[in-house]
Amino acid sequence: MTTPAPTVDGRVIGLAHYAGRAVLESVVDQYDLSFQHLVTLRLVAVSDAPVERDAVVGQVADSLKVGAAEVHGVVEELTARRLVTAEGPKLLATDAGRELYATASAETSKISARIYAGVPAADLAAAGRVLALVTERANAELTALAGERPK
């Protein structure tokens, strides 16, 4: 007798998220980086031109559901480590920052390939659609909840 596949719900999504994040953190930990460092560095490192600091902070804060002050701190840490430079209100990855991002990304890509190996493309597409919808709805709920809080 085989065990039926679980229905997707918050627990199943959470377990997958935390397992994947633990893998990523084990890679970036080798470079004395955190998950937030890598997410923030990525936005700057993949850009061909300087990016607005406020845009980076806003995107990371929104994606990770953390406060802007926390992300500003991460940017300061990346700047102190000379992985990112600040040119007025804009950020630019240094050569060291781009190299570190590329190295960590290459390591995690290999692991991701093993994790997703053999999963049919149609299943990945269906999961992607479901997760995008769940994310959209959860973000709408967060917005509604924020509007209900007393000021």
Phi, psi angle pair for 118, to nearest 5° = 85, -5
CB 39 within 8 A of CB 75: no
Question: So what's the pLDDT on residue 89?
Answer: 95
pLDDT number for residue 4: 79
User: In this structure, is residue 73 part of a structural domain?
Assistant: yes
Q: What is the mean pLDDT of residues 28-48?
A: 95
Determine, yes or no, domain membership for 150.
Answer: no
Asked if residue 97 belongs to a domain, the reply is yes
Cβ-proximal residues to 98 (8 Å cutoff; 6+ apart), any chain: 45
pLDDT above 80 for 8: yes
Residue 1 in this model has a pLDDT that exceeds 80: no
Express as a percent the part of the chain with pLDDT over 90. Answer: 89
Helix (H) or strand (E) holding 150: none
Strand partners, 92: 85
Tell me which residue range forms the domain holding 104: 22-117
Q: Are 7 and 13 in contact (CB under 8 A)?
A: no
Is the Cβ–Cβ distance between 31 and 41 less than 8 Å?
no
pLDDT at position 13 is 93
End-to-end CA distance of the chain: 55
* Mean pLDDT value across the chain: 94
Which among 95, 107, 92 is positioned nearest to 30, based on CA atoms?
107
The CATH number of the domain holding residue 33 is 1.10.10.10
Chain segment 72-96, per-residue pLDDT in tens:
999 999 999 999 999 999 999 999 9
For the entire predicted model, the pTM comes to 0.86
Reported as half-sphere exposure (CB side, CA atoms, 13 A), residue 14 has a value of 3
Q: Which residues contact 119 (CB under 8 A, 6 or more apart)?
A: none
Look at the chain and report how many structural domains it folds into: 1
Across residues 50-55, what is the average pLDDT?
97
**DSSP class of residue 149?**
S
Residue 136 lies inside a defined structural domain of this protein = no
| pLDDT at residue 136 is higher than 90 | yes
Assigned domain for 17 exists: no
